[in-house]
Chain A
Amino acid sequence: MTTLPTDPATEAPIALAGALEKPGRRPRKGRPLGTASWYATALFVCAVMVVPLLWMIAIGLKSKTAVFEVPPRLLPHEFNWSNFIKGPQAIHFPRLLLNSTIITMLSVLGGVMTAMMAGYALARLRFPGRKVWFYLFVGSMLLPGVVGLIPLFQMYKNIGWYDTWLPLIVPAFFGGNPLFIFLARQYFLAIPYSIDEAAKIDGAGHFRIFTQVMLPLTKPAWITMSILAFQASWNDFLNPLVYLYSSDKWPLSVGMASFISPFAGQTPDWSYYMATNLLYMLPPLILFFAAQRYFIQGLGSLGSTTQK
């Protein structure tokens, strides 16, 4: 199916089929071995992706002077584990980590909750204006975020939100990421309508149907979304850079970037930096491996259904 189904009702099952197709379901035994050239290519791809990260760890373990040895050594000859303590101390890592965590958690909560509710209404309730709003929300995906940056910046300044976390969190509670609304609606469309009918006959209201019937059924959708929302917020650099002036309010992204913008005449301390960088990468990394299946499949389902 690579056609573009124009009827949303037909494309949702495809999305779900794509999302539920677990690679593990294929018999893994009897997977043929590739040819030598296949493995050479595979090795090359893996090396390109992994060697920079391994090198980062190596730098993180070197001493300050060893980093600038010429010719450079690829591996440290002594392991300075203390870099993992001193590096984070140098930029007040615990403080930044706490900031990042609070900002991220709240925007994940807001983004996912709003999108799930909107997706439910747009997919399962009939009301005048349903199509219009859906197209407006999805259409706003095409709008580059930068267009609103300057007026919003002024607006936040006028209401006293400059140098607070609110501009980074509040938009999420108001459907700040239309992609999530689109995803949520896709999932909701794939659930049989008889389920709602049954719940309605039992006298359940919309809120109860949504919370007690729908949320458990759409777990893959909101897990995928939560991961995406976590990433978006944890990795965001431009917005906190623009909105947060005080360094004690910075999230990790801004803190890490400032770590290596050297003050006059100073070279940044790369060994400290790389050690801290690894710590900054760990949460998304752990999350990725823990929820890999949802991640790859969830994004895959997005790829196999596009809307005209």
Chain B
Amino acid sequence: MNRSRVGMSRSAGSDTRAAYLFILPPIIGFTVFVVYPLIRSFYLALTKYNGLTDPVFVGLDNFRRMFTVDPAFWPSLKATGYLVVLYVPLSLGIGLALAMFCNQRFAGVRIVRTLAYLPVVLPAVATITLWKFILNPQVGLANTILEKLHLPTSSWLQSSTMSMPSIVIVMLWGVGGTMIIFLAALQAVPTELYEAAKVDGAGPYSVFFRITLPMISPIMLLQVILQTTAALQTFNQPKILTGGGPGFTTNVLMLSIYNNGFSNLGRIPQLGYASAQVWVLFIIIIAVIALTAKFSSLWTYSDNTPD
């Protein structure tokens, strides 16, 4: 679009100058905080580096060590994968169910919506530590309630079988974040579609699968990507709840990266090795996004005619 009107010509040159003045900070930020670290971390992943002396180039040795020597690496892949397989579908499913529930226009629905969203606004550290005590096997709220209902109790975070499910439970307490985005999507579905379905005598199942789900599928795509990348980068919960234990069961990739690169346990930081793990995580994230996007056309509906 060229402005050809006389009198606007003054603004063309000054527009460009002003515009670059206005977006200069993010341009600098993008260069210094995004591009440089990206390139640098790629290089560091191929080195041995303790942060004090210069990095020594070792090629793919970090990756060899990761996959063959390091006892903590495979468990960390497993724990991270566990979150993707269990947490993501649950978060999307419960989030959508809650959103549909809160999309009905009954008295009191706003209270439910607000309270469901409440845990999301609270500081992560505050809620995670609260849950750490809720899951305390002796005096925690979880076992207290289960005992009162005569249901089996569990040692939660201290058991190697229940440690990951516990972390998923704690993460799911923040499902309100997923709900809010689905709710916005549901409210954007034209009501005529539902009215037409009613006239045609469609049952609730066919309404859900033939109207609701197709109409919100673009948001579903976004949510799959967002939730999966978030799950892959889980750090706070394992760090605070278990520190990676018992026996590496909750030692997710981010925690492994943190322990190798920054842990103040008096060990020498292994920044090269940690960078290599960062790149493993990064490649997984890129693969997830690429695959989701590639197959999205199979299950997302859009009435845009392709240009």
Give complex CA distance A53, B118 in Å: 10
Q: How many A-B residue pairs have CB under 8 A?
A: 308
Give complex CA distance A235, B240 in Å: 14
Residue B289, interface by CB 8 Å? yes
Residue A144, interface by CB 8 Å? yes
Q: Please, which residues of chain A bring their CB within 8 A of the CB of B144?
A: 71-72, 74
Apart from A42-B108, A114-B26, A299-B184, what 18 extra A-B contacts exist at CB < 8 Å?
Answer: A6-B304, A49-B119, A52-B134, A117-B23, A125-B19, A125-B22, A126-B12, A142-B229, A146-B233, A149-B261, A149-B278, A150-B261, A150-B278, A171-B33, A175-B26, A206-B15, A280-B126, A303-B185
Contact B130 A148 (CB under 8 A): no
Q: Which residues on A are within 8 Å of B, measured CB to CB?
A: 1-6, 14, 18, 21, 23, 26, 31-34, 38-39, 41-42, 45-46, 48-53, 55-56, 59, 67-72, 74, 114-115, 117-118, 120-122, 125-128, 130, 133, 136-137, 140, 142-155, 157, 171, 173-176, 178, 181, 200, 205-207, 210, 231, 234-235, 237-238, 241-242, 245, 252-254, 256-257, 259-260, 270, 273-274, 277, 280-281, 284-285, 287-288, 292, 295-296, 299-304, 306
Contact A32 B107 (CB under 8 A): yes
Contact B236 A238 (CB under 8 A): yes
Residue B90, interface by CB 8 Å? no
Assess A69 versus B22: contact at CB under 8 Å? Given A151-B44, A174-B29.
Answer: no
Assess A125 versus B180: contact at CB under 8 Å? Given A32-B107, A137-B26, A148-B34.
Answer: no
Q: Which residues on B are within 8 Å of A, measured CB to CB?
A: 1, 3, 11-12, 14-16, 18-20, 22-23, 25-30, 32-34, 36-38, 40-41, 44, 51, 98, 101, 104-119, 121-126, 129-134, 138-141, 144, 147, 173, 176, 180-185, 187-190, 215-219, 222, 229, 232-233, 235-236, 239-240, 254, 257-258, 261-262, 264, 271, 274-275, 278-279, 281-282, 285, 289, 302-304, 307
Contact A302 B184 (CB under 8 A): yes
The residue that A257 contacts in the complex, of B25, B32, B125, B264, with Cβ under 8 A, is: B125
Give complex CA distance A295, B117 in Å: 10
Contact B36 A151 (CB under 8 A): yes
Contact A306 B23 (CB under 8 A): no
Task: Summarize A's interface: helix, strand, loop or mixed.
Answer: helix
